[in-house]
Amino acid sequence: MSWIAKPRVAHPGLPRNELGLTQRDYEGRMSTLCAGCGHDSVTAALIEAFYGLNYPPHRIVKLSGIGCSGKTPTYFLNQAHGFNGVHGRMPAVATGAAGANRTLTYVGISGDGDSLSIGLGQLAHAIRRNVDLLYVIENNGVYGLTKGQFSASADVGSTAKKGAANMQPPIDPVLLGLSLGVGFVARSFSGDKEQLVPLLQAGLRHRGFALVDVISPCVTFNDHEGSTKSYRYTREHLTEVADADFVEPKREIAVSYAPGESIDVEMHDGGILRLRKLAEGFDPTDRDRAYAHISERLHRGEVLTGLLHVDKGLREMHDVAGTVDVPLVEVPHGDLCPGSAALDALQESFR
Amino acid sequence: MKPTDVTDPQYYHKVVDCQWGCPAHTNVPEYIRLIAQGRYTEAYLLNRESNVFPGILGRTCDRPCEPACRRTRLDGEAVAICRLKRVAADLRDDVSEYLPRVPAVKNGKRIACVGSGPASLTVANDLIPLGYEVTIFEKQDRPGGLMWSNIPQFRLPPEVLNEEIDYILDMGVDLRLDTPVESMRRLLAGEMGEWDAIFVGSGAPRGKNLEIEGRYDSDRIHIGIDWLESVAFEHIDRIEPRVLVIGVGNTAMDCCRTAMRIGGRDVKVMARKSREYFKASPWELEDAEEELVEIVENHSPSRFVIEDGELVAMDFDIVDWYEGEGGRLRSQVMDTVRIPCDAVILAIGQETAFPWIERDLGIEFNEWDEPTVDRTTFQSTREGVFFGGDAAWGPENIIWAVEHGHQAAISIHNYCRGLPLDDRPPYGMNLVSQKMGLHEWSYSNDYDEAERQKMRHVHLRERMQTLAVEVEEGFDFEQTLQEAERCLNCDVQTHFTTNLCIECDACIDICPLNCLTITANGEEPELRTRLSAPALNLEQDLYVSEALPQTARVMVKDEDLCIHCGLCAERCPTAAWDMRKSDLLIPYAGLEAGEKRPTRARDLVGV
């Protein structure tokens, strides 16, 4: 952390988006995470993503649980709504919030501890319900706030700072998501914003649950030799398999690839998600083959990144539940709470 | 691009915009920090080392540092560097103990200086401590040159001027007042003494004339610099009520404001061009207008109107300016107008004049009758004869004269030892980390959004009473602290060590001004288009690192708008970024390479 706040003075030549805002307008408070934390880069990528999509900051809801990741929503979008939930319980809060107001944009920030240990059941059910939410896992393989114990995503053989090796097999959030039938799953690296920002934007535009696993090195406890989630190891072992480029609904598609090289997926808002396959035999729209491919490479020590699977055919929570189109706050009180006579009639219908 | 070589003292020097812009390369940020700490004596001595006359310059400098100041590019208003300098001069303690020591045993070399202005005084200041004996010939009965005769007392009180001149004279200058040098031949021939070298610092004493109808038909048409000199020497103590000042440079400003104090009631400054082309500094224009001087644009003088032997008016063409072929400014007469007046002061420029230098001495003059002077060594085409100040290339300002004096002193010192003149001592640099703790730096690193402090002026009525009332009151304590905080400490450099970088992006994410980018290397014009924010200011350099260890990309920093807040260094987990103070070691006569000046100023300052 720093004693001084980031000065408000800004580059006079900063571009502005369609709302007339600069990227600085999407910032939050000063980070109190360790200097060099990958999470701060994810924060910066989120700022860039929201700015680039021209989202008004006050129409966004930031949610988190506990841990280093739980702190990060403070560091972006000062003007957004925020909820810092109990450890691992962010998905439940997000589900409730999204159920009550479907017109806001939801972004949940979690970590490997928050999502894969204490909150694993919560994550699984949010995926199953297909809550309309961008769910970012800032994955560093250790419990940073409690001084660097291995988390559930630590690889076998990866060592702690003092040299002890992890013996328990990891839970991979991408494979977990695929097995649960997630409609959008991607993996990226905090040190590669060129890839991360379009993935976050695509996830925000995806209607339904969008899981983005971001390798985000813990600079204090897990950035040494022997770590498999350090900056260096990640850079040396990641392979990008599918490049995503989000094309705004209003924008003409200017770039064209040779047939077979790219797949266009039309998003719910009319935008186009253009996937460019970088690996032979990899098809992000085929869930089973994607699973097999990722799993096989993972066993060989390769970290596949990019948009790994997308299926826009899934029905989102509101579609399944048949809820009203407007936020509950806009439903007249008489309709929301029709009185005891209506309740009696409902109960009678179940007898 | 090739990796930037920051071991070259000039790279970090250029980042310190004010110091780079100052002809004498005064260490501005360091002395502003000293002022903020209340260490006025140290601040004064640090100033004096390079600019020799902090008290005088703190009131009268043309301030090339201020338009250069980085804050002009951020909030449009430079730090009030010049007036902070005055604070140091006003509040210093006795500095006599810390002035350069003069050796009792001389080196046997004798130098003659012609004229006692800032250039000659600087030559004396630099050479006497090395054992030289310096004689200054002055035609007037007071030393100081144009600092005395052309800068009105209400801008520069005589006590301030005399005190700083005396520091140098008291080193043992042989000052010959009322002794004009009337023949270079005689000076060279030893008729005025034997000299090992001669320095000509006789200024640009001839005011330009305006040869139009009626010029010589009245005795109320004055040449500006001569008129100011007559006022300074009290030969003139009044002027008629309606005065036209022709020309709109800084001399014109001094003329109109002086006229307002000695009888002028309706004083107009008549400019041929429009305001954007005025030569006067903006602050001098403001001060004149505050004193109810009217500044009239686009009026080109055509004749003096004389009736019954009396000057009664001037005729002007009202002109419109437009860009002609090749971008040259052209004028078109729109109308003519007659403006009544009782007196006219011509302030349309000045030039050098050397009627006392015979043209067969091997001292070459060019087609405009200016001496041929080497830009680096300040030597004329005759060995051992040096020029500096306005005498070298025409009118500049005091700070340039001082720098000329320093450079001429280096040359003279070489010349007298039989060394080549172009064998000049190099610049050096000290570079020291300013880290005091995890989040603590030795300097005030937060950006202060305060606006530039306004100089307080003596009330109009009071200041018009006599010529001697100094208009500016100087900054008070609060103003000084506030203004000092506005300085961005550009000398505390963002220093990068490539092999420590893990490319975590922390510095890029935190930088408030989007100065930093990690990207693939490329040629500069193309690289400039790929940075975090547009790098459009081509006068400001890009720093480019060597290839980074993990990805072989490069760290690029656009120096243009960095506020030196140190957040990149605070957020850097490996201390690849560090904040290091670069202290430029300026060469002076008698110093070895990288040696500090042998005064106690630096010991006091601790740099």
Containing domain of residue B575, as a range? 492-584
Q: What residues of chain A, 193 to 212, have a C-beta less than 8 Å from chain B?
A: 193
Answer yes or no: is pLDDT of A261 > 70: no
pLDDT score for A284: 84
Answer yes or no: is pLDDT of B328 > 90: no
Q: Tell me: the pLDDT tens digits for A168-194?
A: 999 999 999 999 999 999 999 999 998
Reduce the DSSP state of residue A209 to 3 states and report it. strand
- Helix/strand/coil (H/E/C) assignment for every residue in B485-511: HHCCCCCEEEEECHHHCCCCCHHHHHC
> A23-321 domain in CATH 3.40.50.970?
yes
Last residue of a domain, one of B300, B332, B349: B349
Average pLDDT in chain A = 91
Q: Chain B contact for A41, CB < 8 A?
A: yes
CB atoms within 10 A of CB B375: 8
Residues B406 and B531 in one domain: no
Mean pLDDT for A53-59 is 96
Q: Tell me: the pLDDT tens digits for B407-432?
A: 999 999 999 999 999 999 999 999 99
Percentage of chain B exceeding pLDDT 90: 92
Q: Tell me: the pLDDT tens digits for B228-262?
A: 999 999 999 999 999 999 999 999 999 999 999 99
In a domain, residue B230? The reply is yes
Candidate from A199-203, A261-265, B322-326 with smallest mean pLDDT: A261-265
Rounded Cα gap, residues A94 and A71, in angstroms: 16
pLDDT-derived band at A252, boundaries 50, 70, 90: very low
Which of A2, A12, A190 has the CB atom closest to B439's CB atom? A2
pLDDT score for B593: 60
pLDDT-derived band at B438, boundaries 50, 70, 90: confident
Q: Beta partners for A304?
A: A239
Answer yes or no: is pLDDT of A254 > 80: no
Q: Tell me: the pLDDT tens digits for A212-231?
A: 999 999 999 999 999 999 99
The reply to whether residue B572 touches residue A35, judged by beta carbons under 8 angstroms, is yes
- Tokens found for residue B216: 């010589």
pLDDT score for A105: 97
Residues B213 and B310 in one domain: yes
pLDDT score for A271: 73
Residues B330 and B270 in one domain: yes
Residues B342 and B394 in one domain: no
The reply to whether residue A41 touches residue B504, judged by beta carbons under 8 angstroms, is yes
Average pLDDT in chain B = 94
Residues B36 and B74 in one domain: yes
Q: Tell me: the pLDDT tens digits for A296-348?
A: 888 888 888 999 999 988 999 999 999 999 999 999 999 999 999 999 999 99
Give the single-character DSSP code of B214.
Answer: T
pLDDT score for A2: 63
Mean pLDDT for B304-311 is 94
Q: Chain B contact for A299, CB < 8 A?
A: no
Q: Which residues of A touch B440 (CB under 8 A)?
A: 3
Rounded Cα gap, residues B385 and B364, in angstroms: 11
CATH number, domain containing residue B216: 3.50.50.60
pLDDT score for B602: 56
In a domain, residue B531? The reply is yes
Nearest to B188 by CA among B372, B353, B352, B362: B362
Which residue's structure tokens are 């021209």? A54
The reply to whether residue B439 touches residue A43, judged by beta carbons under 8 angstroms, is no
Which of B446, B504, B534 has the CB atom closest to A36's CB atom? B504
Last residue of a domain, one of B298, B323, B349: B349
Which of B506, B512, B534 has the CB atom closest to A35's CB atom? B506
pLDDT score for A312: 82
Residues B216 and B308 in one domain: yes
CATH number, domain containing residue B35: 1.10.1060.10
Percentage of chain A exceeding pLDDT 70: 92
Q: Which residues of B touch A38 (CB under 8 A)?
A: 504
Which residue is closest to B450 within chain A, CA to CA?
Answer: A9
pLDDT-derived band at A259, boundaries 50, 70, 90: very low
Mean pLDDT for B166-186 is 97
CB atoms within 10 A of CB A83: 16
Q: Which residues of A touch B449 (CB under 8 A)?
A: 8-9
Q: Chain A contact for B489, CB < 8 A?
A: no
Residues B124 and B190 in one domain: yes
Rounded Cα gap, residues A245 and A202, in angstroms: 8
Which residue's structure tokens are 């109109």? B256
Residues with Cβ within 8 Å of B464's Cβ and at least 6 positions away in sequence, in order, are B260, B261, B291
Angle at alpha carbon of residue B594, lines to B589 and B595, rounded to 5°: 60
Q: Which residues of A touch B572 (CB under 8 A)?
A: 35-36
- Nearest-10 Cα torsion for A185, A190, A195, A196: 50
Residues B213 and B340 in one domain: yes
- Between residues B604 and A169, which one has the greater pLDDT? A169
Nearest chain A CA: its distance from B179 CA (Å): 58
In a domain, residue B405? The reply is yes
* Domain count for chain B: 4
Nearest to B480 by CA among B40, B28, B16: B40
Which of B502, B509, B563 has the CB atom closest to A231's CB atom? B502
Mean pLDDT for A57-85 is 97
Answer yes or no: is pLDDT of B594 > 80: no
In a domain, residue B423? The reply is no
Nearest chain A CA: its distance from B561 CA (Å): 7
Candidate from A262-271, B215-224, B526-535 with smallest mean pLDDT: A262-271
Angle at alpha carbon of residue B398, lines to B394 and B404, rounded to 5°: 65
**Identity of the amino acid at B459:** H
Percentage of chain B exceeding pLDDT 70: 97
pLDDT score for A253: 41
Percentage of chain A exceeding pLDDT 90: 77
Mean pLDDT for B487-516 is 97
pLDDT score for B388: 97
CB atoms within 10 A of CB B104: 6
CB atoms within 10 A of CB B491: 26
Answer yes or no: is pLDDT of A274 > 80: no
pLDDT-derived band at B607, boundaries 50, 70, 90: very low
Residues B452 and B476 in one domain: yes
Q: Which residues of B touch A14 (CB under 8 A)?
A: 514, 533
pLDDT score for B595: 66
Residues B167 and B103 in one domain: yes
Nearest chain B CA: its distance from A5 CA (Å): 8
Residues B461 and B411 in one domain: no
Mean pLDDT for B448-476 is 94
**Identity of the amino acid at A88:** G
Answer yes or no: is pLDDT of B605 > 60: no
Do residues B25 and B588 touch, judged by C-beta distance below 8 A?
no
Residues B131 and B107 in one domain: yes
